[in-house]
Structure 1
Amino acid sequence: MAELKLQPLVMTGEGWADYGLVDSGHGRKLERYGPYRFIRPEPQAMWSPRLPDWDAHGEFVPGSDEDGGGRWHYMRDVPADGWPLAWNEAKFTAQCTPFRHLGFFPDMAPVWDWMRGRLGYSPLDRHPRAGGDDEGTGGARGTLNLFGYTGVGTLALSECGPVTHVDASKKSVAQARENAALCGMEDRPIRWLVDDAAKFAAREVRRERLYDGIILDPPKFGRGPKNETWRLEESLPGLIGDCRQLLDADSRFLFLTVYAVRMSSLALGGLLAEHFAGLPGTIEHGELAVREDALRQAQDDRSARLLPTAIFARWSGD
């Protein structure tokens, strides 16, 4: 029986060559994306900035309502079609989107590392595990990326074997394919699917498919390709129940992240504990966070603040 750990965890993302959280405070954050710097809203940055001046190429100015909206204001030229970035072997295009982010979620970097570790991947191992057939019942295995967006996580997981990438946005899946081509991974065993994530998972259950791992990053609200409505609090329990049916005692993980909701990570952990009671392993929960670059050069890392970005719950098989 999977054991729920009550003590929350913090999974901390560190900056790398193409990304870093430079500073944060007064409800905003300053980040570097390759050669460009951007300011974006961040309600959880309740403290004061540590740097006296923020030199940026652009800033996202939010709308006046709580439901989103807003626009980018540029102080310098920024490529409208985006520019290339990399995380380890995965290359992708960063771009200022109308949704305030830049085409990927850098706080997911420690999650990508964790999942690859659960699948037994080492940077020295260039021979990924073989997956099952794409057709027939019980043949999928590999990993399943639901709400896969522009595919950086999919590319990271493809080092470990086959990946099924599902997103309701045709544009996002097209960008994910372009990212795969950018880093020469277009021939990897990846299924690129434009589909409603919940409906796809339900069909996979009926097909009796099984996966080695599942990652899902559902939105607070969304619509599928056929105008299906997704509301997190209403729809998530059913999706987790279906995901449980796609895993068995030989599976390695399920990782769930949730952004921008008034919800506790312990609630997510409790949801997983209910559905995963019949499997061995461990259920953990906590927060994702990114460590600031500010002052790290002058002082030790203990002085660098952690900016929380999301809550998560995860199941690890034995």
Structure 2
Amino acid sequence: MKNKERRPGKPFPGAKAKGNGSDRPGSAKPASAKGRDDRSSRPPRRDADAPKSRPQPQAVDTAAEPSRPLTVRSGERPAERVPLILESTGAGDFHLIDSGEGLKLEQYGPYRIVRPEAQALWPKALPTHVWDKADAVFTGDTDEDGMGRWRFPREALGETWPLSLLGVDFHGRFTAFRHVGVFPEQIAHWSWMKEKIEAADRPLKVLNLFGYTGVASLVAAAAGAEVTHVDASKKAIGWARENQSLSRLDKAPIRWICEDAMKFILREERRGNRYDIILTDPPKFGRGPNGEVWQLFDHLPLMLDICRELLAPKAVGLVLTAYSIRASFYSIHELMRETMRGKGGLVESGELVIREAGLDGKTPGRALSTSLFSRWVPK
């Protein structure tokens, strides 16, 4: 049966696999899945298994997929805090040097990199000769999931290079979808998670959905959490395991699950498994390992509904990040509040932004919006 457009008001199908259709390598989601910022360049974010160009939807037998209806929630909606702008000026080996004229100039370890950035409408702050000293420039299709190639103006560079962020070591990689293996706008969420894990009086259990190359999972594990990392892309999981070894966390309690995100959480719900922190970073469109199709506007309500059921009694938070969507943060904010009816706590929503930090990494400049987010936390 062909996958049909879902209309509001009708039961959501058991959610189709999240595909990573973004530009994220190995993520079946559009690893680039992002409408904003770089995520737009996400590799067919985390769900697809190829270097990621987003495959077009194919016929899928939805009747064969596990599903359940949305739960009708009652009770008061959680308190709210809006708008909340979570800002990062960089961390570890990353900072945003400058942006403007549809481009951004970033520092990733030893390399200065230029990539497209549609939201950088303003003029560049630094002179041309600074930009001309870039080590790598992404050229080609500037669409959010467009493929292209890297140009190396100064000297040929290898495909990968070492990076470090929040105490975690991993490989940067020049992918065909302009991504480099990490989405630094998430630093704000990862720092929050790290602080919560380190302050807890017990090992927290973290579920990382659409986990891509595993940087968030490694940050959580290094802080002392037990982590379940889910991504539909074999390439992304392989890359994440490489990063685990680079970070000397081979013995850390991390489960690497290569599977469609929706199928996985439906099964976890039936098993009664619970988590203290859930991170979910879905693409706008993605494909699971068995051809399952993920459409954010169709499947996000059910996904959040299931995630609520997976929260432990003393859960610390549920974090949703959304890229590449034509919507206000209020759309996911109100969805999160409806999903968490009767749960108490607080829903805080807004945007993740990265602030320019200049050549020295310490000179504040303009703020570049990267994505929308909504986060539920207990009071």
Which among 207, 211, 225 is matched to residue 148 of structure 1? 211
- Please give the per-residue CA displacement for 1:235-268, whole angstroms capped at 9, x wherever unaligned: 1111111101101441010111111211111111
Q: What residue ranges of structure 1 are gaps of 5+ in the alignment? A: 132-141
Which among 89, 104, 109 is matched to residue 14 of structure 1? 89
Q: Which residue does the alignment assign to 2:34?
A: none
The aligned runs of 1:4-83 (5 Å cut-off) are 4-5=79-80, 7-53=82-128, 54=131, 55-63=133-141, 68-83=146-161
Q: State the 1:219 CA deviation.
A: 0.7
Q: Which residue does the alignment assign to 2:60?
A: none
Distance 2:92 2:271 in 1: 43
| TM-score normalized by the length of structure 2 | 0.75
The aligned runs of 1:130-149 (5 Å cut-off) are 130=203, 142-149=205-212
The residue matched to 1:193 in structure 2 has which SS? strand
- Please give the per-residue CA displacement for 1:64-113, whole angstroms capped at 9, x wherever unaligned: 66652222222133533311111132100001111111011111111101
Distance 1:235 1:74 in 2: 40
Q: Which residue does the alignment assign to 2:193?
A: 115
State the AA in 2 paired with 1:161.
A
Distance 1:171 1:223 in 2: 14
| Off by >6 Å, runs of 4+ in structure 1 | 295-299
Higher relative contact order (CA 8 A, sep 6+): 2
Distance 1:307 1:66 in 2: 16
CA RMSD of aligned residues (A): 2.0
Distance 1:297 1:198 in 2: 39
Distance 1:150 1:177 in 2: 8
- Please give the per-residue CA displacement for 1:201-255, whole angstroms capped at 9, x wherever unaligned: 1110111111001001101111001011111111111111110110144101011
Q: State the 1:13 CA deviation.
A: 1.0
Distance 2:92 2:203 in 1: 31
Which among 257, 269, 286 is matched to residue 193 of structure 1? 257
The residue matched to 2:318 in structure 1 has which SS? strand
Which among 209, 229, 249 is matched to residue 293 of structure 2? 229
Q: State the 1:59 CA deviation.
A: 1.2
Q: How many residues are aligned here?
A: 300
Which among 136, 157, 163 is matched to residue 85 of structure 1? 163
Distance 2:215 2:144 in 1: 28
Q: Which residue does the alignment assign to 1:162?
A: 226
Instruction: Judge conservation of contact 2:91–2:187 (CA < 8 Å) in 1.
Output: no
Distance 1:297 1:161 in 2: 30
Which among 77, 102, 106 is matched to residue 184 of structure 2? 106
Percent identity, please.
44
The residue matched to 1:43 in structure 2 has which SS? coil
Q: Which residue does the alignment assign to 1:135?
A: none
- Please give the per-residue CA displacement for 1:136-171, whole angstroms capped at 9, x wherever unaligned: xxxxxx010000000000001112320000000001
Q: Which residue does the alignment assign to 1:138?
A: none
Q: Which residue does the alignment assign to 2:172?
A: 94
Alignment partner of 1:285 is 2:349: yes
- Please give the per-residue CA displacement for 1:16-62, whole angstroms capped at 9, x wherever unaligned: 34111000001110001111111111111111100012021121124
Distance 2:275 2:303 in 1: 15
Q: State the 1:291 CA deviation.
A: 1.0
Q: Which residue does the alignment assign to 1:137?
A: none
Q: Which residue does the alignment assign to 1:177?
A: 241
Distance 2:103 2:360 in 1: 19
The residue matched to 1:262 in structure 2 has which SS? coil
The residue matched to 1:201 in structure 2 has which SS? helix
- Over 3 Å counting, the alpha-carbon distance change for 1:10 and 1:260 in structure 2 is same
Instruction: Judge conservation of contact 1:4–1:269 (CA < 8 Å) in 2.
Output: no
Q: Which residue does the alignment assign to 1:309?
A: 370
